[in-house]
Amino acid sequence: MEPELKFEKALERLEKIVEDLESGNMPLEDALKKYEEGVKLSRLCTQKLTQAGSKIEILTKTLNGTLELASLDQESGSKKSEKKKTKKAQQSPNQSEDNLLL
């Protein structure tokens, strides 16, 4: 099994593939293979960026900078339901009616 490709290397390879495809100087079969590889690399890059964004979001939310995914997942689920309950409790009956009219 080959080691996982780093983001920078994947992006570099993807840029080369795009350049090759844009040149239009290759047989259709080769172009399709390159396109398929490009799609895989694009998905890998997107996945790595999403993971990095999630990690940054989690780290900025924690006070001590430790990554405790299980407790954060439980916390975020309970906070969302608490926010909904609080928001509903804060609305007066008139506000609820006004929202229906909008």
Q: What pLDDT, in 10s, does the model give residues 35-46?
A: 999 999 999 999
Supply the pLDDT for residue 6: 94
Supply the pLDDT for residue 76: 53
Task: Measure the CA–CA gap between 34 and 28, rounded to whole angstroms.
Answer: 10
What stretches in the chain show pLDDT beneath 70? 1-2, 63-102
Q: Which class for 17: exposed (0-12), middle (13-18), buried (19 or more C-beta within 10 A)?
A: buried
pTM of the model: 0.56
Query: Contact 80/69 with Cβ under 8 angstroms?
Result: no
